[in-house]
Amino acid sequence: MPDVAKSHPETFHFRNLHPHVLIGTASDRYAGWIGQIYSRDPNEGRITKRTKIIAGKNFVEEVLPVDSVEEYFEHFPVLEIDFTFYRLLLDQDGQPTQNYHVLENYHRHIKEGDRLILKVPQVITAQKMHRGDQYLENEAYLNPKIFTEQFYKPAVNLLGSYLTGFIFEQEYQRQKDRTPVNEMARDLDRFFQAVPKDTRYHLELRTDLYLRDQIFEVLERYGVGQVLSHWTWLPPLRKQLAKASGRFFNAQNECVIRLMTPLNMRYEDAYAKAYPLDRLVEGMLQPEMVRETVEIVKTAIEKGVLVNLIINNRAGGNAPLIAKEIAEKFVGIKEPNVSQQRGLW
């Protein structure tokens, strides 16, 4: 049973929930988490603003400095770093990019026992990418040399044992653009055969068509985990696991569950609904997501698999409150109560 005495979901402390359950979030530093994860007084005057343009609308996010990750890790044992999805760590000349320097700053503020999961840059995983107003073929798609030299090696050298996972996220493939399953399996096989052998790889395929035996055989061959992702166009979590016959493929007996958006809700709609990311939004958090997450976590524990549960604000409005719902359900404190929609501070 979980060590309830050491874990305190009611105060957003999740580090000792269970030896095989690590709860964290997709990104950090949100000022909307002040009073939950971050202290109010020490962060006065340290908030900066950034503008995000989503579907033609402007949203102003308030963020804390990188050193706030020290306080983050007082509450959570693992953090998924998202910004690495958008840029490699080294440029073509082998020089550090801005992302490298930001990641280096994070490294200064983490301690023994803290865990980082990095998203692999989309230039490695995306078949097509936006170039200005166009959506063009990505010439670097599944290029093992670019991945190895410009991302993997600098990440490992910089972060060492703090780095506990790589997430390869492939974008949703529209029907007219889809690669046949057998061809996709061959492409993945060639890639994972060519890159450094590592037990920290996890693959997230956002197209239901690719959740097939041909792909799972490749994952099993190289010990690459199947990311179970609660995301717009994917089937429910339990169906994703069922497609793999309940198997967990990662070679170091870990799995990644990512709670990204409500099912059937697009990214831009989920973000607009969740904004300003400081409370649960009425009707947004899907009870089935909470129940299935807890069920899968318990199944993984029975099989000796360690779970990295990563939660995004867009899954319900506020990641810490979603984590609280799931943790309390897991330890049996209460059933999920999504009617409690307002923050308590």
- Mapped to the 3 state alphabet, what secondary structure does 188-237 carry? HHHHHHHCCCCCCEEEEECCHHHCCHHHHHHHHHHCCEECEEECCCCCCH
Instruction: Please state, in angstroms and rounded to a whole number, the distance separating the CA atoms of residues 260 and 255.
Output: 16
Q: Is residue 178 part of a domain?
A: yes
Percent of the chain with pLDDT over 90: 88
pLDDT at 339 over 50: no
Q: Is residue 4 part of a domain?
A: no
Give me the residue label for tokens 């102003």: 60
pLDDT tens-digit readout, 28-45? 999 999 999 999 888 888
Tokens linked to 104: 């280096």
**pLDDT confidence of residue 333:** 52
Q: Is residue 340 part of a domain?
A: no
**pLDDT confidence of residue 334:** 47
- Check residues 46 and 344 and name the one with the higher pLDDT: 46
Q: Is residue 2 part of a domain?
A: no
Look up the pTM and report it. Answer: 0.93
Tokens linked to 212: 């097939």
Instruction: Please state, in angstroms and rounded to a whole number, the distance separating the CA atoms of residues 98 and 36.
Output: 30
Q: Mean per-residue pLDDT for 236-259?
A: 98
Tokens linked to 4: 């309830």
Q: Packing angle between helix 319-331 and helix 287-302, nearest 10 degrees?
A: 50
- Find all residues with CB under 8 Å of 11, minimum gap 6, and list them: none
Number of domains in the chain: 1
- Find all residues with CB under 8 Å of 26, minimum gap 6, and list them: 80, 82, 258, 260, 310, 311, 312, 313, 319
Other CB atoms within 10 Å distance of the CB of residue 10: 11
CATH code, 296: 3.20.20.410
Domain residues for the domain of 118 are: 9-331
Q: Which of 52, 50, 6 is nearest to 267 (CA)?
A: 52
Strand segments, DSSP code E, in 38-81 are: 48-54, 57-63, 78-81
Q: Is residue 342 part of a domain?
A: no
Instruction: Indicate the average pLDDT of the chain.
Output: 93
Q: Mean per-residue pLDDT for 109-121?
A: 98
245 secondary structure, DSSP code: T
Q: Mean per-residue pLDDT for 289-317?
A: 98
- CB-based burial label for 245 (10 Å; 0-12, 13-18, 19+): exposed
Give me the residue label for tokens 């550090």: 96
